[in-house]
Structure 1
Amino acid sequence: MSDLPPALDRGNGPPQPKKPGQLPGWLRRTEAEQRWPAALAIAVAIAIHMILPPDLAPRPRWLLPALESLLLVTVVAVNPLRINREARILRPLSIGLVAVLSLVTAWSVALLVRALFHHGGLAPEHLLLWGGAIWLTNVIVFALWFWEADRGGPAARAEGRTPHPDFLFTQMQVPELADRDWEPTFVDYLYVSFTNATAFSPTDTMPMSTWAKLLMLSEALTSLVTVLLVVARAVNVIGA
């Protein structure tokens, strides 16, 4: 009998209930994942926002990066180690942090597109460097959205309250090939975001809910515009 929940069970007939110890890690209560991988990725995105040239950064120059840093420090201070509890203030702070990161990244993408069309003197190496940096922050931002929203967020997933995934990972489809304690962590969502931003479509992880599909669509579209415009402009400048 499959370890999958009823919504994913591929066998014939009604699935039989399983004891908590028999369920795979992503379906039962677990110790919860560590905070530092997501915090490190956020720190990288903030650092990129801080060093972007003035023409590609929202103004006032330091206001939004300072707000991002303040929110990150607050979230880490409230729950520094494992994300195993949902403090009333923590969830809004976490979502707010990702929202601010998204705002700065989207703003920078818009400024980059404007620069591509209005600044013919951009050096191709600078164009590729800053375009790649903005693309990387876009990957991080969408990885955070996937991570924060899938099945209610990291703390809710640790409680094992929701059996229906928003993202269907390979380990969920073929549980016999995965460790029984496996559950998705931030690195898994970062991988999903990276592959979606490079392939412009899902690869081995399928979006199941409407919001997950819309998020992946938005990321692929943003990545496609950024990559095509930056590469096209760089080739034009180099060939001139």
Structure 2
Amino acid sequence: MADDRDAQERRSETRWPAFAGLVVALVLYILVPNPDTAVLRQVATVILILMFLPLLVENPHRLTRQSEWSRWLSITFTVALVVANQVNVAFVIRSLIEGSANGAQILLTALQVWITNVIAFGLLYWDIDRGGPVARGNLTRSELRTADFKFPQDESGDDVDEISRISSSRSDWRPGFVDYLYVSLTNMMAFSPTDAMPMRSRTKLIMGVQGVTGFVLLALVISRAVNILGG
């Protein structure tokens, strides 16, 4: 029993990478220089912090405990962060289309919103796949919920030894926050999955929304930059 607990403790994901990403996202979100959304962003930030505190108290270091309420609170939190940033996305798109805002400022704002979007969607993917980070780190594979993503490690068990030794089948590899952050980053840049493939309809829809957001932002930013340089 002691060996099982030790193995579970080693497999349980630490909170700090996701916490660091969350802090960066909230700071960028609140510092967006848009007076039209200032009050909304301040209220949303306070609500998000209040929602996150119980989750931090439940698992201050390693993600080992989860109840029904904390599972739904965690999902609600990440969805709220994504939705809150989409408001910023909408205002940035409007400003880029109208061309009324200061060029350098709107490009910086677009970058802030873009980075926040990467982190927010990364947190959402991290929170929904296979039952969430607590489940991935503490349950056996037969107990995990249906996967939302198929990672390269999930199908590399038959590769050469130096690759297969870190596969899911041989090392019991489980994806962590950095893996989902990379999925989010590549989806925002390539507008399609590159590292991990979406396996469920809900995942494809979420990735589709993120990809469209990234494409529109990039297209309008390039257009605005061309106008600035041309002027």
**Aligned-residue offset at 1:114:** 1.3
**Aligned-residue offset at 1:136:** 0.7
CA contact (8 A) 2:119 2:181 kept: yes
- Which position in structure 2 is the counterpart of 1:90? 70
Question: RMSD between aligned alpha carbons?
Answer: 2.2
What amino acid does structure 1 have at the position aligned with 2:202?
W
Query: What are the residue-to-residue correspondences of 1:1-240 with 2, within 5 Å?
Result: 31-55=11-35, 57=37, 59-123=39-103, 125-158=104-137, 159-160=139-140, 161-162=143-144, 164-175=146-157, 176-178=164-166, 180-240=171-231
Query: Post-superposition, which runs of at least 4 consecutive aligned residues in structure 1 deviate over 6 A?
Result: none
> SS state of the match for residue 62, structure 1?
helix
**Aligned-residue offset at 1:88:** 3.0
What amino acid does structure 2 have at the position aligned with 1:52?
V
- C-alpha separation in 1, matches of 2:120 and 2:41: 20
CA contact (8 A) 1:58 1:104 kept: no
The structure whose RCO (Cα within 8 Å, separation 6+) is larger is 1
- C-alpha separation in 2, matches of 1:222 and 1:60: 21
**Aligned-residue offset at 1:143:** 0.7
Give the 3 Å change call, closer, same or farther, for CA 224–182 of structure 1 in structure 2: same
Greater shift, 161-170 or 99-108, is seen at 161-170
**Aligned-residue offset at 1:73:** 2.6
What amino acid does structure 2 have at the position aligned with 1:155?
V
- C-alpha separation in 1, matches of 2:66 and 2:55: 11
What amino acid does structure 2 have at the position aligned with 1:198?
M
Give ranges in structure 2 of 5+ residues lacking alignment.
1-6, 158-163
Q: Residue by residue, what CA displacement relative to the aligned partner does 1:34-59 show, whole Å, maximum 9, x if unpaired?
A: 11111111111111111111346353
Give ranges in structure 1 of 5+ residues lacking alignment.
1-24
CA contact (8 A) 1:46 1:69 kept: no
- C-alpha separation in 1, matches of 2:180 and 2:54: 23
What amino acid does structure 1 have at the position aligned with 2:188?
A
**Identity across the alignment (%):** 37
